[in-house]
């Protein structure tokens, strides 16, 4: 697998003995030196490898192969690199990697392709080379899956930092004629205490590049961390308070015009005819384009384009999706689940004897849960600026996978990948939505048709009605309890979603017999990853049903989960911490309730306790207590912010999120009918972080989300006795 030239590169690169890290080493003389011009800025900078450079001012620049969408990845990854390198944090700069295939994050590729693969060290370089090829073929330069810190950071950034440090030390040892072991490093300085010599990194930058690459750079153990584990201020925040941060929508290209677009309300339909008589006469309008699958108006200003678009009368083709309504979709789920019956569907996991488990159960519990479609509603609507001319194409946007965006633009422009330059900017919210390239393709097609640069912006209405939605789903459970009220059997069947594959599974809960199955249901709507992906649905399903089993067993939700986690001390500690923070068991005012939920996801373990006040006309979540163990927290303030953020994103969905379908089209259009949680409904959030395993890190961007919906609905049950089995909560009347 893979080309041998790659292997040679890998073999010669930092990855040779670097375990899972495939360092993409770039330095003078290296065969892939073509990347250097993209990263260097004149002759005073010397590249050490792809993830770090040291210039003559002794500034250390961390090159981040991920995008910043508010998750703090620039800062956290730079902390990991800088700590291993012993860099002076106050002088560390951050550069986003260009959308070049050589930056494909192959450690991510590995985890996607072979999540559990154990590779003998001897053949690692070959496998790594193959993975690099595969990852590149898949166009993975991707930010998502809460992967950045736990994969790229842990395996690549730290190794790159340590390797750079070792090479600098080796260069100094050679120059000073002293053993490398006598040399220490601190704050971007190289020190030989015995001789009193001390020089900045920069002095040896050039000589270091001539050193052989360390086979296996030595990483620090946690007691030596100086920068990791510290709540460092995020690098991207200052420019986000004075209006200077540049988002995709802020692209400014000389001569640029503006496009407003409208696609058929039923996804999959095409434009059959359009009447643009009025639009043509409107001020500023330059071109009206029937693109087949959407209409675009190009004008001198965006508002002019939007006004003209609004006057165009369009007829759409008929599609199979036309007649489909909300109820029919859920009826389709039900019929597929009915058809699968007792033993059908695709088996996902099975343990123990499920038949025996239920035969012997003293109490049986059954429940069905439903969750709706959800839109992402990023604050920055989808947009892209493109310019196709003279066999070249430039594209500006904010995308979670810049390499994919570049390839999509190349395909849309009909140009080779090499002739497309993709300029990534800050993402005004990603949440999975900006991993799709539909907006990139549309803008590139418009720009190809016009020949001049065009900034296409979706209206909020388009953004809401043309999303790649979080799938709706139905999940059915049967559970069995023995005579002591202990869970002994668990049977789940649900409509199929995406990934990760472990989302519906419960390896952390000790239940003797369990079985989890899925059925596939097809539909005309487009789906895409939505923050925490399948954990967003299964977290609610599983933790609701655990609570129902606890109630049937006559136990409270916390005590019942403690029993199920009894053999997992690390899990138990997280659960206990959240319960203790909340004062679990203490009295609450009338019509108030407390609910607990526990969801490990993306390598992190999270427990939440929510408090609700049901005394008013609608549920009010007053407090959320969070305990989280991601292994090791690289940036405590950043991680805490991710927990807060995940909770609000999940709570918004739990309370209100409901994309509904009528005649095949999405009925919602803007924030008045797809409401968001606002500041006056914001609960107090308290977060405790636990470092449970510094070798295996978990993610931060997503794991805060899955527990919130069930924690709240379990709290509503505790306060009212009403079990919410269908989201959103706003559908239910508690008056």
Partner 1 sequence: MIKLNVNGQAREVDADPATPILWIVRENLKMPGTKFGCGIAQCGACTVHLDGKPIRSCSTPVSAAEGKTITTIEGIAAEDGTLHKVQQAWIEAQVPQCGYCQSGQIMAATALLEKNPQPTDAQIDAAMAGNICRCGMYGRIRKAIKAAAGIDTAAKVEA
Q: Does 426 bind partner 1 (CB under 8 A)?
A: yes
Taking CB under 8 A as the criterion, the residue among 645, 668, 713, 714 binding partner 1 is: 645
Three-state SS for 455? Answer: strand
Q: Does 427 bind partner 1 (CB under 8 A)?
A: yes
Residue placing its CB nearer to partner 1 in the complex, 252 or 339: 252
Q: Does 616 bind partner 1 (CB under 8 A)?
A: no
The number of beta carbons lying within 10 Å of the beta carbon of residue 723 is 16
The number of beta carbons lying within 10 Å of the beta carbon of residue 340 is 17
Q: Identify which of 551, 611, 613, 546 has the alpha carbon closest to the alpha carbon of residue 582.
A: 611
The number of beta carbons lying within 10 Å of the beta carbon of residue 568 is 17
Q: Does 245 bind partner 1 (CB under 8 A)?
A: yes
Rounded to an integer, what is the distance from CA 111 to the centroid of its chain? 14
Q: Identify which of 608, 485, 467, 477 has the alpha carbon closest to the alpha carbon of residue 538.
A: 477
Judged by CB under 8 A, the stretch of 205-213, 436-444, 557-565, 674-682 that binds partner 1 is: 674-682
Query: Within 341-459, where are the H helices?
Result: 354-359, 402-413, 438-450
Taking CB under 8 A as the criterion, the residue among 678, 696, 722, 731 binding partner 1 is: 678
Residue placing its CB nearer to partner 1 in the complex, 433 or 571: 433
Q: Does 428 bind partner 1 (CB under 8 A)?
A: yes
Q: Does 401 bind partner 1 (CB under 8 A)?
A: no
Q: How far is the CB of 623 from partner 1 (least distance, A)?
A: 11
Please give the C-alpha separations between residue 9 and each of 33, 39, 128, 131, in angstroms, as whole numbers.
Answer: 11, 19, 11, 13
Q: Does 732 bind partner 1 (CB under 8 A)?
A: no
Residue placing its CB nearer to partner 1 in the complex, 286 or 682: 682
Q: How far is the CB of 282 from partner 1 (least distance, A)?
A: 10
Q: Does 671 bind partner 1 (CB under 8 A)?
A: yes
Q: Does 138 bind partner 1 (CB under 8 A)?
A: no
Backbone angles phi, psi at 288, to 5 degrees: -120, 120
Contact status, residue 368 vs residue 433, Cβ threshold 8 Å: no
Rounded to an integer, what is the distance from CA 508 to the centroid of its chain? 23
Q: What DSSP character marks residue 239? A: G
Residue placing its CB nearer to partner 1 in the complex, 390 or 680: 680
Q: Does 230 bind partner 1 (CB under 8 A)?
A: yes
Q: Count of residues binding partner 1 (CB under 8 A)?
A: 67
Three-state SS for 543? Answer: helix
Residue placing its CB nearer to partner 1 in the complex, 221 or 244: 244
Q: Does 37 bind partner 1 (CB under 8 A)?
A: no
Query: Within 240-392, where are the H helices?
Result: 277-280, 302-309, 326-340, 354-359
Q: How many CA atoms lie within 13 A of 211 on its CB side?
A: 26
Q: Does 244 bind partner 1 (CB under 8 A)?
A: yes
Q: Does 338 bind partner 1 (CB under 8 A)?
A: no
Quote the CA–CA distance of 552 and 569 in Å, as a whole number.
26
Contact status, residue 298 vs residue 286, Cβ threshold 8 Å: yes
Taking CB under 8 A as the criterion, the residue among 29, 37, 43, 90 binding partner 1 is: 90
Q: Identify which of 99, 91, 320 has the alpha carbon closest to the alpha carbon of residue 186.
A: 91
Q: Does 71 bind partner 1 (CB under 8 A)?
A: yes
Residue placing its CB nearer to partner 1 in the complex, 121 or 679: 679
Q: Does 377 bind partner 1 (CB under 8 A)?
A: yes
Q: What DSSP character marks residue 374? A: B
Q: Which H helix or E strand runs over 328?
A: helix 326-340
Supply the angle between the helices 73-85 and 158-176 in degrees, to the nearest 10: 30
Judged by CB under 8 A, the stretch of 427-435, 437-445, 596-604, 727-735 that binds partner 1 is: 427-435
| Residues pairing with 54 in the sheet | 46, 60
Q: How far is the CB of 300 from partner 1 (least distance, A)?
A: 9
Q: Does 241 bind partner 1 (CB under 8 A)?
A: yes
Under rule CB under 8 A, which residues in 277-296 are in contact with partner 1? 283
Q: How far is the CB of 291 from partner 1 (least distance, A)?
A: 22
Q: Does 65 bind partner 1 (CB under 8 A)?
A: no
The number of beta carbons lying within 10 Å of the beta carbon of residue 635 is 27
Q: Does 72 bind partner 1 (CB under 8 A)?
A: yes
Cis peptide bond upstream of 444, omega within 30: no
Judged by CB under 8 A, the stretch of 170-178, 198-206, 423-431, 551-559 that binds partner 1 is: 423-431
Q: Does 238 bind partner 1 (CB under 8 A)?
A: yes
Judged by CB under 8 A, the stretch of 5-13, 200-208, 235-243, 310-318 that binds partner 1 is: 235-243
What does DSSP say about strands 92-96 and 60-64: parallel, antiparallel, or unpaired?
Answer: parallel
Taking CB under 8 A as the criterion, the residue among 31, 115, 231, 507 binding partner 1 is: 231
Would you tell me which residues interact with partner 1 (CB under 8 A)? 69-72, 90, 230-234, 236-247, 249-250, 252, 258, 283, 301-304, 306, 377-381, 426-431, 457, 459-460, 637-638, 641, 644-649, 652, 670-672, 676-680, 682, 684-685
């Amino acid at each position: 697998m893979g080309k041998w030239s790659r292997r040679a590169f890998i073999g010669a690169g930092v990855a040779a003995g670097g375990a899972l890290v495939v360092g993409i080493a770039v330095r003078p003389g290296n065969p892939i030196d073509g990347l250097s011009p993209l990263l260097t800025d004149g002759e005073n900078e010397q590249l050490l490898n792809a993830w770090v450079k040291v210039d003559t001012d002794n500034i250390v620049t961390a090159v981040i192969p991920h995008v910043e969408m508010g998750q703090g990845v620039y800062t956290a990854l730079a902390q990991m690199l800088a700590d291993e390198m012993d860099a002076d944090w106050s002088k560390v700069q951050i550069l986003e990697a260009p959308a070049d295939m050589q930056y494909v994050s192959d450690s991510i590729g590995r985890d996607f392709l072979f999540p559990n693969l154990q590779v003998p060290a001897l053949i690692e370089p070959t496998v790594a080379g193959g993975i690099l090829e595969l990852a590149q073929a898949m166009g993975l330069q991707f930010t998502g899956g809460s992967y950045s810190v736990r994969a790229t950071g842990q395996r690549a950034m730290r190794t790159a930092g340590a390797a750079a440090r070792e090479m600098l030390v080796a260069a100094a040892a050679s120059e000073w004629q002293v053993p490398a072991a006598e040399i220490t490093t601190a704050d971007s300085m190289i020190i030989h205490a015995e001789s009193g010599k001390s020089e900045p990194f920069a002095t040896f930058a050039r000589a270091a590049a001539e050193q052989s690459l360390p086979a296996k750079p030595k990483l620090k153990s946690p007691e030596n961390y100086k920068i990791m584990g510290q709540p460092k201020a995020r690098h991207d925040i200052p420019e986000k308070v004075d209006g200077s941060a540049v988002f995709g929508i802020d692209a400014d290209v000389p001569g640029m015009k503006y496009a407003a677009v409208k696609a058929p309300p039923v996804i999959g339909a095409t434009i059959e005819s359009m009447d643009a008589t009025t639009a043509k006469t409107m001020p500023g309008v330059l071109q009206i384009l029937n693109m087949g699958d959407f209409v675009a108006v190009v004008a001198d200003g965006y508002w002019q384009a939007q006004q003209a678009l609004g006057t165009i009368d369009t007829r759409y083709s008929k599609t199979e999706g036309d007649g489909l309504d909300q109820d029919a979709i859920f009826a389709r789920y039900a019929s597929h689940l009915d058809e699968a019956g007792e033993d059908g569907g695709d088996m996902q996991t099975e343990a123990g004897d499920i038949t025996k488990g239920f035969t012997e159960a003293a109490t049986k519990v059954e429940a069905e849960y439903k969750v709706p479609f959800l839109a992402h509603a990023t604050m920055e609507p989808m947009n892209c600026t493109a310019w196709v001319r003279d066999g070249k194409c430039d594209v500006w946007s904010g995308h979670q996978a810049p390499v994919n965006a570049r390839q999509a633009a190349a395909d849309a422009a009909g140009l080779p990948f090499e002739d497309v330059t993709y300029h990534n900017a800050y993402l005004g919210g990603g949440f999975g939505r900006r991993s799709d390239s539909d907006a990139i393709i549309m803008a590139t097609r418009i720009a190809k048709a016009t020949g001049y640069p065009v900034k296409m912006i979706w209206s909020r209405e388009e953004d809401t009605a043309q999303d790649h939605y979080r799938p709706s789903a139905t999940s059915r459970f049967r559970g069995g309890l023995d005579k002591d009220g202990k869970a002994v059997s668990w049977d789940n069947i649900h409509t199929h979603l995406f990934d990760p594959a472990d989302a519906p599974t419960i390896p952390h809960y000790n239940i003797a017999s369990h079985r989890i199955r899925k059925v596939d249901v097809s539909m005309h709507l487009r789906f895409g990853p939505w923050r925490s992906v399948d954990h967003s649905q299964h977290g609610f399903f599983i933790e609701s049903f655990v609570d129902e089993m606890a109630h049937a067993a006559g136990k409270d939700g916390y005590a019942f989960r403690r029993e199920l986690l009894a053999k997992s001390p690390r899990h138990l500690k997280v659960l206990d911490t959240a319960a203790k923070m909340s004062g679990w068991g203490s009295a609450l005012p009338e019509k108030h309730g407390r609910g607990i939920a526990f969801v490990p996801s993306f390598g992190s373990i999270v427990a939440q306790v929510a408090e609700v006040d049901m005394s008013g006309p609608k549920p009010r979540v007053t407090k959320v207590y969070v305990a989280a163990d991601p292994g090791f927290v690289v940036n405590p303030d950043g991680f805490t912010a991710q927990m807060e953020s995940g909770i609000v994103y999940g709570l918004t969905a739990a309370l209100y999120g409901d994309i509904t379908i009528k005649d095949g089209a999405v009925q919602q259009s803007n924030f008045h009918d797809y409401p968001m949680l606002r500041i006056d409904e914001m609960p107090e959030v308290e977060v405790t972080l636990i470092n449970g395993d510094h070798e295996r890190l978990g993610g931060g961007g997503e794991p805060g989300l899955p527990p919130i919906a069930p924690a709240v609905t379990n709290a509503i049950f505790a306060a009212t006795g009403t079990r919410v089995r269908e989201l959103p909560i706003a559908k239910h009347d508690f008056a």
